[in-house]
Every structure is written in structure tokens, then in C-alpha cells.
Amino acid sequence: MAGFYPAALALPAALLPAPALVAARDLLAHRTCLPRHDFGWYGPGVDLENEEVARLLRYLPATRQVRQTWQYNNLCYSTAGYLAEHLLVVEWAEAVQQRILDPLGMKSTVF
């Protein structure tokens, strides 16, 4: 995944408050301007797919400018997973299995 390109170029919908500025590496480095927002995805009865999480991000309030500070956010990792699914045309779990776990000889993991 090309880390410097805006994530919005690869995804069908504008996902973040500043989609033209947020690159794939920002999603993974927690520099997207979004704080945690954990209760939006975690809890009883909540079961969101990566695409659903990605589409909901644009509605969450930003607290900083892009790359201004580090703010931990699991939702951005889900969005990075959706970006990988979109670019690789394979589900995230399968991509992780084929590209990371199998080459390392890992037989089981939880992610």
C-alpha cells in the first residue's frame, strides 16, 4: 500500500474530516486528527464491518489538524483494513493470512 497517497484516492467515499490530506500511513500512525471514539465500535450488540467503520469516520469530530499530534484510534486501523481490502480485492483477514501469517509460518493468531 503506497503510504504517501491520500486514502481518499483509493476509496469510493470521502472518509475523514480532511480526506485529501489523510494518507494510508496516517491511518496506521494515529495521525488522522481523530481521537479514540471507542464507544462507536466497541460494546454489546456492536458488530461493524471495516467498510461500515470507514463510512462512519467522517461523522466523528476531529480534535486536531492532520499530522499535528498522535491520537490513538482503533477505527483508523479498521479503515486501513478496508483500504487494503479495496486495493487488494480480498478480505482483510485473508490478506493478513496470505501476506503475513503464512510467510511467517504462524498457524494461529487472534486479530
Nearest of 23, 36, 33 to residue 67 by alpha carbon: 33
List average pLDDT for each run of 10 residues in the chain, which is 111 residues long.
Answer: 54 56 82 75 69 79 85 85 86 89 90 64
Global pTM value = 0.71
Query: Contact 63/33 with Cβ under 8 angstroms?
Result: yes
pLDDT at 41: 61
DSSP 71-92: ---HHHHHHHHHHHHHHHTS-H
Q: What is the pLDDT of residue 105?
A: 95
Q: Identify the pLDDT of residue 18.
A: 58
The confidence score (pLDDT) of residue 7 equals: 59
